[in-house]
């Protein structure tokens, strides 16, 4: 089988959905599983619903706006009276009903039950449209197949149970399912982390022993830099799993960090291609000595820089490090860069869950800290180390680090 993943930009409107069908036609719509994200900016809009719900603001008006957008998209794809309109209405009624009945104060739990509906609706619309134009497929609820623990918003996959479920699928059929979501033992929805649809595709590819997996983006493939942020970038036609993992870890948005390991374990070739120009080769990621070690640029924004010192100016020792990292785990904060000296530790942090202030407050019980928010982490992979001066222009550098051929700086 082949696994294809389409992101929100590819299905943002009716023309986008039609284009997905054209892309699938170029690939041959047989023995494949299609993973689709929520349409356009739906996830952001549903996050707003959750925010308004907890602030006791008019979240229902927001639900109606999102519903209207999906109905409008469907009108460009289906004839009046098609069953899909009832399906769309039902999904949004479910959101409203859940929020009216909910008694849980757990923000992350409520978030997952609401925000996951974006993928449910988009996958239903795409599946129905493909069936209407004779691309016959079965719609799957990914929550019946991908099982996780109860770590809401960052679910950890139960691989044994998930593989048992997915391996039962008949590999001669075609399927359409959702990215980003699974379910825990009580069948409540658990999301796999923001932008987790790539990971979903990798999970299905791994469990199906797929021949290959392709992610369809609005860029030609993996570039030497985000073309929206950097000039004169070029396409990387082939990179190794290891290089792709490094790039994803440092913040390359074209690949989700968790995607690569399942594919690497079974040596499943992974392609990143453009849904605008589907016949072009894009980027291949796999096991090879042909890895292109070209200088590449990654900018990770909205980071937090935290400097930590001991109160008595003693060394930052193992017991201090143990305490700091235990608190990082407690508050679910990811370290993007770390640098330590004898008496201080600098951490560049990604605050996905908005817990950095609480983390800092607890840390201050034992340490002196200084926090700087809204910094950026700039990474150069395969850097030409004798030409680093160019990267300092017009930047206020707070921290820098060089390891092998990777150069990083934290800037304001």
369 labelled binding-site residue: no
DSSP state of 59: H
Which H helix or E strand runs over 323?
Answer: helix 318-330
Structure tokens at 47: 């996050």
In this predicted structure, what is the pLDDT of residue 255? 80
Instruction: Check pLDDT > 90 for residue 313.
Output: no
Burial of residue 218 (CB within 10 Å: 0-12, 13-18, 19+) is exposed
DSSP state of 317: -
pLDDT digits (tens, 9 = 90+) for 23-45: 999 998 899 999 999 999 999 99
Percent of the chain with pLDDT over 70: 100
In this predicted structure, what is the pLDDT of residue 266? 94
In this predicted structure, what is the pLDDT of residue 217? 93
Instruction: Check pLDDT > 80 for residue 253.
Output: no
Which one is the CATH code of 2-217: 3.40.50.150, 3.10.180.10, 3.40.1160.10, 3.40.50.300? 3.40.1160.10
Instruction: Check pLDDT > 90 for residue 254.
Output: no
Triad 344, 349, 353: Cα angle to 5°: 135
DSSP state of 45: H
In this predicted structure, what is the pLDDT of residue 228? 86
In this predicted structure, what is the pLDDT of residue 74? 98
Q: Give the range with max mean pLDDT: 237-241, 362-366, 403-407.
A: 362-366
Does the pTM surpass 0.75? The reply is yes
- Read off the pLDDT of each residue in 47-52 and give the average, rounded to a whole number: 98
The confidence band for 388, taking pLDDT boundaries of 50, 70 and 90, is confident
193 labelled binding-site residue: no
In this predicted structure, what is the pLDDT of residue 331? 95
- Read off the pLDDT of each residue in 81-100 and give the average, rounded to a whole number: 97
The confidence band for 200, taking pLDDT boundaries of 50, 70 and 90, is very high
76 labelled binding-site residue: no
Instruction: Check pLDDT > 90 for residue 405.
Output: no
Residue pair 368/331 in contact by the 8 Å Cβ criterion: no
The confidence band for 341, taking pLDDT boundaries of 50, 70 and 90, is confident
The confidence band for 403, taking pLDDT boundaries of 50, 70 and 90, is confident
Q: Which CATH architecture has domain 296-411?
A: 2-Layer Sandwich (3.30)
Instruction: Check pLDDT > 90 for residue 158.
Output: yes
- Read off the pLDDT of each residue in 245-260 and give the average, rounded to a whole number: 84
Percent of the chain with pLDDT over 90: 82
Give the chain's mean pLDDT.
94
Instruction: Check pLDDT > 90 for residue 289.
Output: no
400 labelled binding-site residue: no
Residue pair 175/34 in contact by the 8 Å Cβ criterion: yes
- What residue segments make up the domains of the chain, in order of their start? 2-217, 296-411
- Read off the pLDDT of each residue in 343-348 and give the average, rounded to a whole number: 94
Which H helix or E strand runs over 17?
Answer: helix 14-27
362 labelled binding-site residue: no
15 labelled binding-site residue: no
384 labelled binding-site residue: no
Triad 135, 139, 140: Cα angle to 5°: 145
- Read off the pLDDT of each residue in 60-73 and give the average, rounded to a whole number: 98
- Read off the pLDDT of each residue in 212-226 and give the average, rounded to a whole number: 94
pLDDT digits (tens, 9 = 90+) for 129-157: 999 999 999 999 999 999 999 999 999 99
Q: Give the range with max mean pLDDT: 210-214, 236-240, 315-319.
A: 210-214
In this predicted structure, what is the pLDDT of residue 290? 66
């Amino acid at each position: 089988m082949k696994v294809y993943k389409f992101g929100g930009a590819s299905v943002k409107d009716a023309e986008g959905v039609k284009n997905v069908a054209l892309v699938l036609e170029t690939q041959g719509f047989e023995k494949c599983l299609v993973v689709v994200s929520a349409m356009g900016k739906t996830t952001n809009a549903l996050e707003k619903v959750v925010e308004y719900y907890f602030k006791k603001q008019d979240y229902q008006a927001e639900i109606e706006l999102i519903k209207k957008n999906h109905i409008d998209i469907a009108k460009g794809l289906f004839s009046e009276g098609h069953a899909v309109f009832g399906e769309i209405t039902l999904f949004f009624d479910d959101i409203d009903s859940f929020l009216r009945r909910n008694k849980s104060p757990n923000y992350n739990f409520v978030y997952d039950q609401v925000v996951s509906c974006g993928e449910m609706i988009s996958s239903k619309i795409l599946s129905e449209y493909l069936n209407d134009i004779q691309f016959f497929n079965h719609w799957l609820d990914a929550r019946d197949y991908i099982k996780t623990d109860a770590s809401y918003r960052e679910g950890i996959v139960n691989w044994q149970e998930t593989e048992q479920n997915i391996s039962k699928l008949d590999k001669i059929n075609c399927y359409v399912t959702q990215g980003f979501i699974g379910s825990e033992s009580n069948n409540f929805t658990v999301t796999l982390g923001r932008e987790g649809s790539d990971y979903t595709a990798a999970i299905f590819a791994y469990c199906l022993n797929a021949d290959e997996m392709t992610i369809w983006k609005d860029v030609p493939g993996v570039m030497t830099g985000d073309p929206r942020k950097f000039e004169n970038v070029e396409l990387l036609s082939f990179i190794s799993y290891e290089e792709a993992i490094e790039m994803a870890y440092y913040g390359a948005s074209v690949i989700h960090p968790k995607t690569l390991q399942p594919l690497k374990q079974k040596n499943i070739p992974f392609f990143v291609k453009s849904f605008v120009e589907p016949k072009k080769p894009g980027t291949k990621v796999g096991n090879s000595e042909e890895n292109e070690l070209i200088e590449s640029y990654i900018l990770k924004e909205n980071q937090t820089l935290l400097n930590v010192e001991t109160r008595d100016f003693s060394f930052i020792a193992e017991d201090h490090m143990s305490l700091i990292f235990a608190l990082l785990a407690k508050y679910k904060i990811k370290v993007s860069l770390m640098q330590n000296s004898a008496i201080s530790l600098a951490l560049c942090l990604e605050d996905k869950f908005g817990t950095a202030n609480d983390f800092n407050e607890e840390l201050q019980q034992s340490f002196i800290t200084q926090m700087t928010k809204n910094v950026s982490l700039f990474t150069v992979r395969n850097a030409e180390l004798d030409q680093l001066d160019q990267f300092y222009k017009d930047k206020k550098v707070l921290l820098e680090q060089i390891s092998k051929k990777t150069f990083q700086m934290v800037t304001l």
